[in-house]
Chains A and B, each alone.
Chain A
Amino acid sequence: MRISAGNLKKSEFVNFQGGICQVMKADFYSPGKGSALMKARLKNLITAKNVEYAFKSNEQVETLDVVSVDMQYIYKDQENLYFMDERTFNQVSFPISVVGEVSRFFKEGEKMFVYMFDDKPLTIRPPMSVRLKITGADDAAKGDTVSGAKKPVTVETGATVMAPIFVKVGETISINPETGEYTGRV
């Protein structure tokens, strides 16, 4: 569907310069000279790169019906991550290099959303938060009571994150996979 850029909304999908992009931000802006603009931040789903672009507000933009499909993460090898559609048992794979750092926090068997367009899988939609068990952590050093002090801990997927010194092996913590930040104890 073609719409005026002035009607772009956050989280919509558009065709931008031939790439499938998600609108991360769209803010109306009128410079008081020339035409009004829609200042957008677009995330290319395939390259995961963000680009800023000022559309003319009456410029035509093609929106795309990208859908999210529930899939199960099965395993990874050196290069790819493998997912399965539980209804059709179809398998799809994505290069680790495209999915990026977030894949360090994927646990086998977990459900995730995969973006599909025209029945073709594009990439995975990173979860907002993942819950993982701590498999390795040093005990907090005695006397280290500085508030906000952190230590590295290893979680069950093998990834390392900085977490408060009070967390222990065997506990489950939540992590924002996109930033790699500890967000709480579960």
Chain B
Amino acid sequence: MEIKTTTKNLDNYKIYLQVEEAVHEFMEKNKYLKIDLPVLSPALIPESYLQVFETDFKFLDKKEKLYLIPSPELFLKRLLAYGVGDCYYLGKSFRNADPPATLHSYEFVMLEFYKMDADYMGIADVVLKLLQSISRKLQVTSYKLQNKIIYKGKKISFEKWEKITVQKAFKKYAGISEKELFNHKLFIEKAKEKGYSINTSTYEDLWSQIYSQEIEPHLGTNGFPTLIYDYPKEFAALAKLNPDGRTTQRFEFYIDGIELGDCYTELTDWKEQEKRFNNEKKVIHPIDKGYIEALKYGLNDCSGIAIGLERLAMIFANLTSIDQLKLINIS
């Protein structure tokens, strides 16, 4: 890896700064408390698909393992349980094994915010207002469009969402029926029929391959950002299940096939959360027991979303890769 310095991205970087500023202004105006957090933690929430960076804290003969946070969730949820109310974090998160790519970096800026007494669709309303607010701020200097931006020559309006369930999207774009989507055996057969290599692949693996290959490219391409919601329970992570028992209150939103944010109605049931944590394998770090303790203490109904700020700024700056926003890139 090497350090690459460039000032040719200076104009793009300034757009990034404006987006960041617009987010802070929006959050302050809507009474979300800004939370600064440690990025090193002695324990983490177990999420087996995330790989983490680890380091040693050394002092005289003492040595302790610390981990860079892959998301601020473990800290923010504790604070929510202790009654901090609507709040947000805008800062660095770290994911090992994410090589620098057009939409990825092992070190990235995440906006994560939580709203009390809201479900995931309540967050969707806030996100739309946030997008409008950012576009208004940028219009002052660049676009003369009301609540719209131009991305790669196409108009995207933030007047409303295009909403689609995961189930409808699989039917519409991949020809996979409701029955096939929720039945692992049928789904794997369908994937094989489509030409995917099913050896050593789980339902979750194949689901991700088909989702990314056949569904995502269509999302956010009809003039509005797309909100795709109600994922199969296998992708519940820290989200609440729907009453149907097979889908979860989770949405993601997209512009031009690019995923920008991931929202859950938060799971507040500590027993269910502990069960899910115990099912996570392949986790190398100590598990944050305090998280379950905080849930036991009592987390009121709330929802939260994580948004990749560089990806969002990339869209507003009409760029195709996040490294185009940066003055220093390491790759």
In the docked arrangement, what's the CA distance between A27 and B321, Å? Answer: 11
Are A34 and B235 closer than 8 Å at their CB atoms? yes
Interface residue B212 (Cβ < 8 Å from any Cβ of A): yes
Interface residue B95 (Cβ < 8 Å from any Cβ of A): yes
In the docked arrangement, what's the CA distance between A132 and B245, Å? Answer: 67
CB distance from B310 to the nearest CB of A (A): 14
Given A17-B195, A34-B235, A53-B213, A29 contacting B103 (CB threshold 8 A): yes
CB distance from A140 to the nearest CB of B (A): 31
Interface residue B204 (Cβ < 8 Å from any Cβ of A): yes
Residue of B at shortest CB range from A39?
Answer: B212
B183-230, CB < 8 A from A: 195, 197, 201-202, 204-205, 207-209, 211-213
A51-98, CB < 8 A from B: 52-56, 59
Are B209 and A36 closer than 8 Å at their CB atoms? no
- Count A-side interface residues using an 8 Å CB cutoff: 19
Are B102 and A34 closer than 8 Å at their CB atoms? no
B244-286, CB < 8 A from A: 259, 262
Tell me the total A-B contact number using a CB cutoff of 8 A.
62
Chain B residues with Cβ under 8 A from A53's Cβ?
213
Interface residue B231 (Cβ < 8 Å from any Cβ of A): yes
Are A59 and B197 closer than 8 Å at their CB atoms? yes
Are B104 and A28 closer than 8 Å at their CB atoms? yes
CB distance from B198 to the nearest CB of A (A): 11
Residue of A at shortest CB range from B237?
Answer: A33
Are B101 and A29 closer than 8 Å at their CB atoms? yes
Are B197 and A30 closer than 8 Å at their CB atoms? no
Nearest first, the 8 closest Cβ-Cβ pairs linking A and B are A34-B208, A28-B101, A54-B213, A34-B204, A33-B235, A54-B212, A54-B209, A35-B205
What 5 additional pairs, Cβ within 8 angstroms, besides A31-B212, A33-B237, A35-B204?
A17-B195, A33-B235, A34-B49, A34-B204, A34-B235
23 A-B pairs with CB atoms under 8 Å apart are: A29-B101, A29-B103, A29-B104, A30-B49, A30-B95, A32-B259, A32-B262, A33-B208, A33-B235, A34-B49, A34-B202, A34-B204, A34-B207, A34-B208, A34-B209, A36-B49, A36-B98, A37-B208, A37-B209, A39-B212, A54-B208, A54-B212, A56-B201
